Amino acid sequence: MNSILLSLWSLPLLSVNLNILAYIDPGTGSIILQALVASVVGAAIAVKLFWHRILKFFGLRKGVSADPSEKQGENKK
pLDDT digits (tens, 9 = 90+) for 20-59: 677 778 898 899 999 999 999 999 999 999 999 989 988 8
Residue 1 pLDDT: 67
Structural domain boundaries in the chain: 26-60
**What is the model's pLDDT at position 8?**
73
Are the C-beta atoms of residues 33 and 27 closer than 8 Å to each other? no
DSSP H helices in 15-67: 26-49, 51-57
The model's pTM = 0.48
d(CA 17, CA 13): 9
Q: Yes or no: say if 44 and 37 are a contact pair by the CB < 8 Å rule.
A: no
Distances (CA, A) of 6 to 2, 11, 14, 17, 60: 6, 9, 12, 20, 57
